[in-house]
Chain A
């Protein structure tokens, strides 16, 4: 059974030192701090190392298909608006194969949290370059160095209209836990790109590298200012809540959300049939 308090059961298959330990700890802490009941929480995992997190969460979980965590999570949330739904998927999953859903998920703006474990590499398939790998990155699929420009997921989210855009770091659990708590409380699609060392396949970007490169960022309510921040060419990577829309000014989510209620009576369609009489 899923039970995080039972340490015998908590046996992740992550490498020693993997950033997912920090993300896991931060997520569980945020859920606890926001008073979220485990039975009313669904964690939707992608396919990748981080996607296994639901097994050890003590909540409901659904580990679906590579790239498709966002539509699955959106369906769950729309079917039962009482649930808190959290996506945990990787950079290859979200910015590669599933990028379409990332953009349209933001447009749909269901009240879900989207955590992207961004280690700049495909870990579970043994180290190929990902959409956030830097130019020149050497990997089994790019032996002469990556020739594709890395994506800027935060700029992408901001321009797609995301109302909650943050960057966290797996090596700073208290900061990440606080970001996740705020994302849980935000009423809409809340996105956190989580910098995460892959100790096996992306050794350049280890804890020491991240510790030196990250700087805290001031939150802004101005989307253009946030965009300038994330687009700026700088030595150091801003971490924290970067942009939050003034939620009172946000349009109500257009899609109908439901409360699951398995009734047993078939629905009366007489009125509609009368139109065809």
Chain B
């Protein structure tokens, strides 16, 4: 038993309150001083499908999940069956008495339906289970009761007390001796710590950056961004718009950006495909816009409720023609917050579209986060100064290729922004010399930005024989893996277009790359091969719709390293 590193699973059918139970338990354990990593998954049906909430708790920060489980809370025997194989020999599975048929010493019988009925709340089986689970963990019930109260206090005091009774009776129904649990509260909770999902933190990054206009069309798994911003729209004075389609969403965002308001849209791969023409428009008229792409597995409708990193190439090649388009891929919740904030500065400073690539895994996972007390400053880039007397040309080349932007309302800044090729004054032109000069100036912004980016660097032992190369959300998993092997270090790509200026140098220092991606074809590997000729014969690619699990991945890494675990 890993006493201070425990993996739990709550499993059942859609409608049984799996996610709610997971949220409550995560909060209770977080408040008790544990580091927490929670992840809800469901089949793509509203009621009846297989729902899971995985929770890993530890005395050290956790940045990934394990497949092996120490505890299972099964609200439904059939859905639980496939997970019993992952249960440690010392593990315990809580299951309703009526559901149990097989004999297995790891199974703890708990009459959840009966106890819920006694608490006069039949659907509180999940809460009965949580009470029992807390007992098996040897932890006090009080933080769980607080979390239950917070979850249901908006409903009624009756519902709160019924749920608390359910938790208490569950707690009393099992013996703690059943498990070799941690049996202690680890430490005082960190006051500055928040238990939050990547999607929520991403939305907060946009709010922090002064985003005041948001338009989107619902698409799983990006809709949580729309919901979060809609719920906070009044408080922060944001115009949040659920519009007719993704094409309208991005065109409205571009219009708002042109008018001088920080604007964003969010979607998943299918919606992004519809947006691509407008991404080129933003590149052509040099208007700022931020797009969040929360990936799910494709092709086509694919797996709406699962995760993947399969859209990197779509994003890198979005839109016809050639234009500057910045692509960021944060790896952690904190990076998601920072990068979405930063995306608005880049979009205005470089006057171009910026796509931030998240995925279902990063957007929906929930961990304890202490946001850095970073000095996040808003930078609008070059705006026409009020009272300027100079003859204004919207698309004139500045010394760094970036023109001065004027906003409607400015007398001296009048111009037409056009998707047709145009000269420095914004009027259309087909003159070949001007056409090349305008293209070159726009594209040069990517070189300017590449030089301005923080250099990329290896993490872990500098002289390691093997280097994991990954991007975006697999960062946390890779970090846990390299901590287990002395011969392994890590190169994580957070800026994918443009790449930091030192990328070539760092890649040339790598001896044996191991490509790690949540897709079938190694899309980052292809991008690095195109840019730098990098060969990646060692590849660990997962396109199952599920994230990597550290323990599973560790076996595959050890095979490559020639180690036996």
Contacts and interface: CB of A to CB of B under 8 A. Distances in A.
Interface in A1-45: 1-2, 38-40, 42, 44-45
Contact of B243 (A1, A47, A71): A71
Contacts of B416: 2, 45, 54-55, 57, 60-63
Interface stretch (B406-414, B438-446, B482-490, B547-555): B406-414
B535 interface: no
A61 B407 contact: no
A263 B259 CA distance: 14
Interface string B253-281: 11111111101000000000000011001
Contacts of A40: 408-409
Nearest to A52: B428
B428 A75 contact: no
Interface string A53-76: 011011111111101100111111
Contacts of A257: 239
Contact of B409 (A44, A77, A82): A82
Interface in A71-103: 71-80, 82-83, 100-101, 103
Given A256-B233, A273-B194, A276-B195, A76 B408 contact: yes
Contact of A265 (B232, B252, B378): B378
A60 B252 contact: no
B378 A60 contact: no
A219 interface: no
A234 interface: no
Interface string B389-416: 0011000000000000001111101111
Interface in B186-219: 191, 193-196, 200, 204, 207-210, 212-213, 215
B47 interface: no
Contacts of B261: 79-80, 258, 260
B524 to A, nearest CB: 30
Given A75-B213, A104-B244, A256-B239, A272 B259 contact: no
A267 interface: yes
A64 B408 contact: no
Interface string B368-394: 000100001110100100000001100
Interface stretch (B151-159, B296-304, B418-426): B418-426
A82 B261 CA distance: 13
Contacts of A39: 408-411, 413-414
A266 interface: yes
A103 B428 CA distance: 31
Interface string B228-255: 0000110111111101110111011111
B interface residue count range (under 10 / 10 to 19 / 20 to 34 / 35 or more): 35 or more
A262 interface: yes
Contact of B252 (A72, A82, A272): A72
A101 B255 contact: no
A251 interface: no
A269 B243 contact: no
A19 B235 CA distance: 48
Interface string A184-209: 00000000000000000000000000
Nearest to B408: A60
B408 A75 contact: no
B94 interface: no
B285 interface: yes
A232 interface: no
A65 B420 contact: no
B248 A100 contact: yes
A2 B415 contact: yes
- DSSP class of B's interface residues: helix, strand, loop or mixed? mixed
Interface residues of A, number: 58
A75 B253 contact: yes
Contacts of A76: 255-256, 258-259, 408
B254 A64 contact: yes
B215 A266 contact: no
Given A60-B408, A276-B196, A80 B260 contact: yes
B286 to A, nearest CB: 12
A63 B418 contact: yes
Contact of B193 (A74, A75, A265, A277): A277
B238 to A, nearest CB: 7
B78 interface: no
A65 B419 contact: yes
B402 to A, nearest CB: 16
A249 interface: no
A258 B237 contact: yes
Nearest to A80: B259
Given A72-B252, A79-B260, A276-B200, A63 B193 contact: no
A267 B340 CA distance: 14
Contact of B204 (A64, A68, A74, A269): A269
Given A62-B417, A63-B419, A256-B237, A262 B208 contact: no
A72 B244 contact: no
13 contacts: A61-B415, A64-B254, A64-B419, A65-B277, A68-B247, A71-B243, A76-B256, A80-B261, A83-B259, A100-B244, A100-B248, A103-B244, A277-B194
Interface of B: 191, 193-196, 200, 204, 207-210, 212-213, 215, 232-233, 235-241, 243-245, 247-249, 251-261, 263, 277-278, 281, 285, 341, 371, 376-378, 380, 383, 391-392, 407-411, 413-420, 425-428
The 8 closest A-B pairs by CB, nearest first: A75-B255, A61-B416, A260-B260, A75-B252, A79-B256, A79-B259, A71-B251, A79-B261
Given A1-B414, A83-B408, 9 more contacts: A1-B425, A40-B408, A63-B416, A67-B247, A74-B255, A80-B259, A104-B248, A273-B204, A276-B200
